Structure 1
Amino acid sequence: MTQLVDAPGGPRNAPPASSPEAPRHRVRADIQGLRAIAVASVVVYHFWPSLLPGGFTGVDVFFVVSGFLITGQILRDVDRHRPLRFAARFWAARVRRIMPAALLVLGFVLVASWFIVPASQWPEIGRHVLASALSIENWVLAGDAVDYGAEGAAPSPVQHFWSLSVEEQFYLVWPVLLLLATLFARRFGPIGRLGRRGVVGIVMGLVLVASLSFSFIFTNVDPGAAYFVTPTRMWQLAAGGLVALIAVRGIRFAPWVGVALIGVGFFVLNVDMPYPGIAAMIPTVGACLVLLGGPDGRFSFDRAVSARPIQHLGDISYSVYLWHWPLLIIVPIALGHELSILEAFGLLAIILVVSEASYRFIEQPFRRGWLLRTSPRSLALGTVAVLIIVAGAVRFDASGQARIEAAAAEFEQTIASADECFGAAALDNTCGDPFAPVDEAAALAGNNDLPIASRKPRCSDDTGPFSEVICHYGDPNGARTVLLWGNSHASAWSDAIDAAGKRLKWNVIVASRSGCPATLGTPPPNEIRKTSQEEQKGCAERNEWVVSTLAPKVDLVVMSDLRAGYADGARSVDGFVEAITRVREAGATVVWLGDVPLTDGITTRRDGPDCLELNGQCSNPVSKALVARSVTDEVAGRVPDLLTIDPTDRFCDDERCYSAVGGVSVYFDGLHLSGTYSRTLGPWLARELKACAQGASSCPAL
């Protein structure tokens, strides 16, 4: 999955790759086989994740092989050149090998996105291309993983550059560490029985132990960010480096044991597990064992993977990795639909052709050609090329922002002249088709159309430690007080309940918290979003505070959440039932507000405004959009007299649920109500809440 240099080993029975006398510019069949296995697993996983749930661990295999090869090269060259010349030659080699193809892909993404991808995605794509060009994409993705507001965003066509970023950061640190260890050994001589290689080995071992320990701890604390950050991954590269250092090869059965471990990881591991952590030892140890093997015997791993197609896939693995993800993201957008089976295989063929061309006409010529022959020239031209992509990414981001701002200004004029057919009002009046397609301005404006509780300064509670952040809306002098309680979906209803409160002359409190459903006990795991231990703790404390402190002060508590996707349905229902019971004991009436429809499946969300920009209108079958009804039914079965409000007819007809109603984008992302549409729901919600406040006999029930 990541960029790897060619193995420096000679013929199949040559000395180990790390040996100084090993001939250069030859490859080992086992390493090319590992490359082929790794890139094939990643591609299959991205195309058909259910076929190979642990295929993403091909990245781990690449990390080990990369650490092995880079360390072998460093150990050969560090004694041949003075420190500054060694560093310049090393980093210049990385420029020649990595940058040409990588920067070409980044440039392609910018150009293709300009013509194909919705303008609403341009700022995000520009941000990620910029981060990829600067080799910090892994840190950007780690930040997004803990940023609740970034979770509904469409996948970036360059997010696979995170692994390249990890390696580039490794390449900055690793040669310096090994150079310093070598200079230390030269200066002070042997330490006891330790020679130079012993000192270098100790440094490698310390890095491995420190990184591995951090990976274990941080993966349990924050699995989303842990997957991407460099400190949780360096031990895998260091493990490959230690294999290169010990220079042992020829353990006959080690490769097959290693391949078995890697294969087990492909089928046993999955994205729902905390990763990397201890689970990453399976592919990492497996890859190390393969590298410890040798070409001995007719049944050796080397011979098994020596077939030309496998070896050639290893040759072009870098290009395959670079090209497969952007094409997989951009082509379905260009087609206007998800890939069929035949289209997926056709795209695979295109990826192989493009990768072959990239390998032959970009990778190889730039790597060996005259243009980047000297170290100063390589470093200078590499810097210029990066700056060109950086400038393009910044311009692309700015262009997207300008189009979104222009659309927002145009849409504001539409809002100012709104009539009885605008937004949700179109469902109650004679307005023609309320689900008619919207114009581009309405679609683009939807992306930044946040509900009031989520705008800056943000008053809806964010993820993290417990806090008492709440919002006050409606009529502050109202005779009754209503509390809206739940996760970010409750926050998205803030405009509606604010408008309803003003209409009913009720005081409104919104106690919403991102990623924190209105349930008691430890929040159950959800397929849509992983939560860290810190978030779970903060959520539990927050909800206990809401029930014990806020609920006794209000007349009505409206519970609103994203309730789809709970992996442990029984535990989620138990938590909701307990919350309802506790609120009633506090003296308040409970109203259960049904879920907003999904734009697609539970784990395949579709961004509403982006889809509208491409198609004018988008819809989802009721059977997929309203899967959370099962949770409502179970809770209602446990609490027979539960007052409920079903919002289905505000989004759906009998067959489908829509992303635009009355000329307004229903969502601002893939799950949450836009501020404008939420606000137009105010009169309807006021009617429903008034009926609920008058008693169960007149409150609509599901």
Structure 2
Amino acid sequence: MRPRTGSPSGRLDFRRLDFLDGLRGVAVGLVLLQHVGELCFPAVRSFTAGTLQLGQLGVLVFFLCSGFIIPASLERGRREPGRLPALRAFWISRVFRLYPLYWLSLAAAAALVAAGRYAPGTPLSAGDWLANAALLQLPAGAPHALGLYWTLAFEMVFYALVSGLFLLGWHRRSVLLSLAASGACLAAAATAQPLLGRPAPLGLFCLATMFLGTVVHRWHAGDVRLRGVLGCAAGTLLGGVAMLVSTGTAAAPMLTAWLGAYAVFGLGVALRRRAVPGWLRRLGTISYSVYLVQAVVLLAVPATPHPLLTAAVWTVVVLGVSEATYRLVERPSIRLGRVLAARTTEGAGAAVPIRPDVAVRPYRAPRGAGQIAV
């Protein structure tokens, strides 16, 4: 198929996908805005509860970005190193990307619990803490040590699904996979309550959203036509709406967040050739730190008598600490993971693995479809 994007030769000229950093910056900014705003201003609480869940909007943008970049990260390299070496390199890079900072956040949460500054909604047993440390609390059925960890648990589920599809050689059937995920949402909406006596799990929509992000990646590489992307987006939203209706959830603030997330991501992709403002790109670069650090800061730093001052102090502290954790924890661990991942593919014909959001090595899409920086 002739590529639908990039240059006539099918090569994309991007040295890095700056628009993804911009989208991550928007996403984490919305999450921080909701968390700080709800604690400081009743008007924000009323707005997010009744009109638009800003944090949910940001999280869905994160999920779309993950769906876009994770397949590119798994498939990267000029030559095929074999599925198992590529998969080992992928998981090594993911572990060193996610866990060091996550463990620091988890240790801070444990310290706050020990100091009496924080009490999880559901008390955690020793086994629950271990499940959280492994980032396996979702399959283990354990409560999250911090509420925002739920998104990371779904990321891990998506990585596992993509890895299994990669081993089976089904990972490039992105449109079919997206439609299947949408179908699973519709099936859950129709059967969960009558057959299982429980509401349909809205987490299915999160996974379907990630698979939609992968379809956008395939379009970006030239493997899928725009109408395929639009069809998958419509199917995913239809499945999500059906689940909302079946659960009786207050649909308006959630649905507007979902529509807003898809619109923001679509706009970011449409403007992908435009320069991203430096401050927004930097916020996206440190977005993982901002996401994890904010929960600890909001628990550890006392509020002042003045809401505006409290909001300003919390925001400045979150951004300052996040910059430090990115420099001292994230970046070194990512570099180490990159080195170790490269060793797993030495002699297997693979290009040196690199961090997806700071990539400079082009990746040639399958079947001569195009080239993308990952």
Q: Is 1:360 the equivalent of 2:360?
A: no
Structure 1 residues 137-176: aligned runs within 5 Å: 137-138=137-138, 158-176=146-164
Equivalent residue for 1:612? none
Q: Counterpart amino acid of 1:226? A: P
| TM-score (normalised: structure 2) | 0.67
Q: Is 1:374 the equivalent of 2:340?
A: yes
Structure 1 residues 114-263: aligned runs within 5 Å: 114-117=114-117, 123-124=123-124, 129-138=129-138, 158-182=146-170, 197=172, 200-214=173-187, 216-217=189-190, 226-227=201-202, 229=203, 231-247=204-220
Tell me how far apart the structure 2 counterparts of residues 235 and 177 of structure 1 sit (CA, whole Å).
Answer: 15
Tell me how far apart the structure 1 counterparts of residues 36 and 192 of structure 2 sit (CA, whole Å).
Answer: 26
Tell me how far apart the structure 2 counterparts of residues 86 and 365 of structure 1 sit (CA, whole Å).
Answer: 22
Tell me how far apart the structure 2 counterparts of residues 208 and 119 of structure 1 sit (CA, whole Å).
Answer: 36
Asked whether the 8 Å contact 1:136–1:162 carries over to 2, the reply is: no
Q: CA 1:248–1:83 in 2, change beyond 3 Å: closer, same or farther?
A: closer
Give the structure with higher Rg (CA): 1
Deviation at 1:82, TM superposition (A): 0.9
Asked whether the 8 Å contact 1:68–1:242 carries over to 2, the reply is: yes
Equivalent residue for 2:351? none
Equivalent residue for 2:288? 318
Aligned length: 306
Tell me how far apart the structure 2 counterparts of residues 59 and 325 of structure 1 sit (CA, whole Å).
Answer: 15
Tell me how far apart the structure 2 counterparts of residues 27 and 120 of structure 1 sit (CA, whole Å).
Answer: 40
Q: Counterpart amino acid of 1:238? A: F
Deviation at 1:272, TM superposition (A): 6.0
Equivalent residue for 1:27? 16
Tell me how far apart the structure 1 counterparts of residues 181 and 97 of structure 2 sit (CA, whole Å).
Answer: 26
Q: CA 1:110–1:164 in 2, change beyond 3 Å: closer, same or farther?
A: same
Q: Is 1:61 the equivalent of 2:61?
A: yes
Tell me how far apart the structure 2 counterparts of residues 275 and 160 of structure 1 sit (CA, whole Å).
Answer: 22
Deviation at 1:285, TM superposition (A): 3.0
Asked whether the 8 Å contact 1:135–1:169 carries over to 2, the reply is: no
Q: CA 1:45–1:311 in 2, change beyond 3 Å: closer, same or farther?
A: same
Q: Is 1:103 the equivalent of 2:103?
A: yes
Q: CA 1:180–1:30 in 2, change beyond 3 Å: closer, same or farther?
A: same
Higher strand share: 1
Tell me how far apart the structure 1 counterparts of residues 189 and 16 of structure 2 sit (CA, whole Å).
Answer: 34
Q: CA 1:35–1:374 in 2, change beyond 3 Å: closer, same or farther?
A: same
Asked whether the 8 Å contact 2:117–2:300 carries over to 1, the reply is: yes
Q: Counterpart amino acid of 1:172? A: A
Q: CA 1:213–1:81 in 2, change beyond 3 Å: closer, same or farther?
A: farther
Give a deviation string over 1:321-365, Cα, whole Å, max 9, x none.
011012213434xx7x88843123212111111100011111111
Q: Counterpart amino acid of 2:290? A: V
Tell me how far apart the structure 2 counterparts of residues 131 and 237 of structure 1 sit (CA, whole Å).
Answer: 24
Tell me the secondary structure at the aligned position of residue 80 of structure 1: coil
Give a deviation string over 1:101-131, Cα, whole Å, max 9, x none.
1111111222233224368989438666433
Tell me how far apart the structure 2 counterparts of residues 218 and 283 of structure 1 sit (CA, whole Å).
Answer: 28
Structure 1 residues 496-515: aligned runs within 5 Å: none
Q: Counterpart amino acid of 2:98? A: I
Tell me the secondary structure at the aligned position of residue 146 of structure 2: coil
Q: CA 1:294–1:277 in 2, change beyond 3 Å: closer, same or farther?
A: closer
Deviation at 1:64, TM superposition (A): 0.6
Asked whether the 8 Å contact 1:71–1:245 carries over to 2, the reply is: no
Equivalent residue for 1:112? 112
Tell me the secondary structure at the aligned position of residue 117 of structure 1: coil
Asked whether the 8 Å contact 1:201–1:242 carries over to 2, the reply is: yes
Equivalent residue for 1:346? 313
Q: CA 1:122–1:60 in 2, change beyond 3 Å: closer, same or farther?
A: closer
5+ unaligned residues in a row in structure 1: which ranges?
1-12, 145-155, 183-195, 259-268, 297-301, 379-702
Asked whether the 8 Å contact 1:38–1:59 carries over to 2, the reply is: yes
Identity %: 24
Q: CA 1:68–1:217 in 2, change beyond 3 Å: closer, same or farther?
A: farther
Q: CA 1:236–1:15 in 2, change beyond 3 Å: closer, same or farther?
A: farther
Equivalent residue for 1:88? 88
Tell me how far apart the structure 2 counterparts of residues 114 and 225 of structure 1 sit (CA, whole Å).
Answer: 36
Equivalent residue for 2:298? 328
Equivalent residue for 1:43? 32
Tell me the secondary structure at the aligned position of residue 169 of structure 2: helix
Deviation at 1:283, TM superposition (A): 3.6
Equivalent residue for 2:279? 309
The alignment's C-alpha RMSD in Å is: 4.2
Equivalent residue for 1:273? 250
Give a deviation string over 1:496-541, Cα, whole Å, max 9, x none.
xxxxxxxxxxxxxxxxxxxxxxxxxxxxxxxxxxxxxxxxxxxxxx
Asked whether the 8 Å contact 1:240–1:288 carries over to 2, the reply is: no
Deviation at 1:23, TM superposition (A): 7.8
5+ unaligned residues in a row in structure 2: which ranges?
234-243, 345-374
Asked whether the 8 Å contact 1:215–1:277 carries over to 2, the reply is: no
Asked whether the 8 Å contact 1:208–1:234 carries over to 2, the reply is: yes
Tell me how far apart the structure 2 counterparts of residues 282 and 352 of structure 1 sit (CA, whole Å).
Answer: 28
Structure 1 residues 544-583: aligned runs within 5 Å: none
Tell me the secondary structure at the aligned position of residue 339 of structure 2: coil
Structure 1 residues 524-543: aligned runs within 5 Å: none
Q: Counterpart amino acid of 2:340? A: T
Q: CA 1:217–1:352 in 2, change beyond 3 Å: closer, same or farther?
A: farther
| TM-score (normalised: structure 1) | 0.38
Deviation at 1:180, TM superposition (A): 1.5
Equivalent residue for 2:360? none
Tell me how far apart the structure 1 counterparts of residues 190 and 136 of structure 2 sit (CA, whole Å).
Answer: 22
